[in-house]
Structure 1
Amino acid sequence: MKTDIKTDMSWQEITSSPVIVDATPNFFGEIIQETLALTRRLFIQLQRRPSSLIAGIIQPVMWLVLFGALFQNAPKGLFASTSNYGQFLAAGVIVFTAFAGALNAGLPVMFDREFGFLNRLLVAPLASRFSIVLASAIFIISQSLLQAAVIVGAAAFLGAGLPDITGLGVITLIVFLLALGVTAISLGLAFALPGHIELIAVIFVTNLPLLFASTALAPLSFMPVWLQVVATLNPLSYAIEPIRYLYIHGNWKFDDVVMQAFWGNVTFLGAFLVLLGFAVVALISIQPQLRRTLS
């Protein structure tokens, strides 16, 4: 009997071990479920108040129409190797729209903080509180990609042309990296700043200066020297120039020069690596603030 009892106990120990192994898949499954639920909540809010998405689509299309008409008779050679300012402007509008949308990513989180909903989430039995941040990032990046798709279609309708399938995939990847980095910064500010007034102030202060201090509206050669230096330090320029190159050149390679900075030539691959580094640095920089807030 003693031997049987020992055998039964050892068998129970053996059969209980798979439960421990299955804990990790269940943990990640719960995170995915939480993230999807929180993301769905944000899309339901958007469905109830679609005006922000509609305005975010109408405004850049108006930019394409009005600025394209304004510079329709500009001298040839002023805008790089194209005389079509709509083709030149399309890249800037795509990037700036994604940037502006991602910069507002922290506002929903900030309002949840102020209305007390975030506190309810923090005391809820979540598998990981980082699903709150992940859901916001998925929501904003999805919105940015949707807006970019509409702008690409509108630009093609207005005569700017359309890159090939590979080019469209590259545009999607560029918009994703830029939106990811800016969304991370905005979410970090949402947890660091005391209220939405301060966050809105930061958005207003950085929005237009970063637009005019980039190559969105004019080429580098059109700017004074000091502004050329600032523009080549602006992450927006490293998203704009590769997309613009795709519009102007049908054939492209990763070693093609897309921008001539004050320190040297920037290739297509170099611009992509700058955007990747920007996104990684932004994600790493907000980690201490997220741990302090969500832990």
Structure 2
Amino acid sequence: MTSPSLSVAVSDSERSAWSELAQETLALTRRLFLQLARRPSSLVAGVLQPLIWLILFGALFTNAPDGLLPGGISYGRFLGAGVIVFTAFSGALNAGLPVMFDREFGFLNRLLVAPLRSRSSIVLASVIYITAISLVQSLAIMLTAALLGYGWPGAAGFVLVVATLLLLVFAVTALSLGLAFALPGHIELIAVIFVANLPLLFASTALAPLSFMPGWLGWLAALNPLTFAIEPIRAAYRGPLDLSAVLLEAPYGDVTGTTCLVVLVGLTVGLFLLIRPLLNRKLS
């Protein structure tokens, strides 16, 4: 039988462990934000690029004929969800770069020999940093879209937008961190980022509905994780929220909002489980 004093000691030890983990994570996260403050150009560029996409593409199709898009919505409103998701996706895909540079400059080795309570704080700091940056960039796109007259989701819609973006960012951040430890250097990681970015954008419903696409591209878009994030956000802008409604008429069947979220949850959990052995091995 466990004595009360032993139970109290164990409880205090657990609280101390969590407190130290939080302090370590906060310190490492603060370091990443200090780096950003010293080089703010990356944040500015991360906001400006999707803003240019939103403004120029929205203007390009201003005079598109009525009924061109499903529901008769304007192209700017249709494009807005795609740009929001692409902004979050691009930011999360870059999550591994700070870790990769720490590897190459030797700072990661210093962390690994430091008396950290848990080396999980290294990963948690990267996740928190990228999540915050991605949400700030996406919010800037949403505000710009609202100023351009493309609308703003209601309270429930805003919650859905944030939840969808968080799931996507967590999943892609996990993938990027795994690549940061698996690839030999930053050149290879940047190459993967460049190769993945635009093909995944064009092979999704960000710029055009499935009905506009040839059959083979429609299949790719219907399987693309970005599509499963874009469609719930697009639905959040349309009005009354109904996750049971069909959001995508895919070649393999109808896809509801609930299905989109389940796919994103499964993708996030699957990627974290996939990279966990790699992270344990590299951080041990």
Bin the TM-score by the shorter chain.
over 0.9
Instruction: Tell me what 2:263 maps to.
Output: 274
User: Is 2:147 the partner of 1:154?
Assistant: no
Alignment of 1:159-174 (within 5 A): 159-174=149-164
Q: CA deviation at 1:251?
A: 1.4
Runs of 4 or more, structure 1, over 6 Å off, are none
User: Is 2:34 the partner of 1:51?
Assistant: no
Q: CA deviation at 1:21?
A: 3.4
The CA RMSD measured in Å over matched residues stands at: 1.3
CA distance in 2, matches of 1:244, 1:14: 55
User: Is 2:198 the partner of 1:208?
Assistant: yes
Alignment of 1:220-259 (within 5 A): 220-247=210-237, 249-259=238-248
Q: Which has the larger Rg?
A: 1
Deviations 1:203-250 (A, max 9, x none): 111111000000000000000000000001100000001111222x21
CA distance in 2, matches of 1:180, 1:285: 13
Instruction: Tell me what 2:89 maps to.
Output: 99
CA distance in 2, matches of 1:45, 1:220: 41
Instruction: Tell me what 1:5 maps to.
Output: none
Query: Unmatched 5+ residue regions in structure 2?
Result: none
CA distance in 2, matches of 1:15, 1:79: 68
The number of residue pairs the alignment matches comes to 282
Deviations 1:22-49 (A, max 9, x none): 1111011111110010000001111111
Query: Unmatched 5+ residue regions in structure 1?
Result: 1-12
Equivalent position amino acid for 1:270 in 2: T
Query: Does the CA contact (< 8 Å) of 1:177 and 1:279 recur in 2?
Result: yes
Alignment of 1:1-295 (within 5 A): 18-247=8-237, 249-295=238-284
Query: Does the CA contact (< 8 Å) of 2:171 and 2:267 recur in 1?
Result: yes
CA 17–73 in structure 1, closer or farther in 2 if over 3 Å, else same: closer
CA distance in 1, matches of 2:219, 2:59: 29
Query: Does the CA contact (< 8 Å) of 1:214 and 1:234 recur in 2?
Result: yes
SS at match of 2:153: coil
Q: CA deviation at 1:75?
A: 2.1
Q: TM-score, normalised by structure 1?
A: 0.93
Q: Matched residues, percent identical?
A: 61
Equivalent position amino acid for 2:151 in 1: G
Deviations 1:110-136 (A, max 9, x none): 000000000000000111101101100
Q: CA deviation at 1:14?
A: 7.7
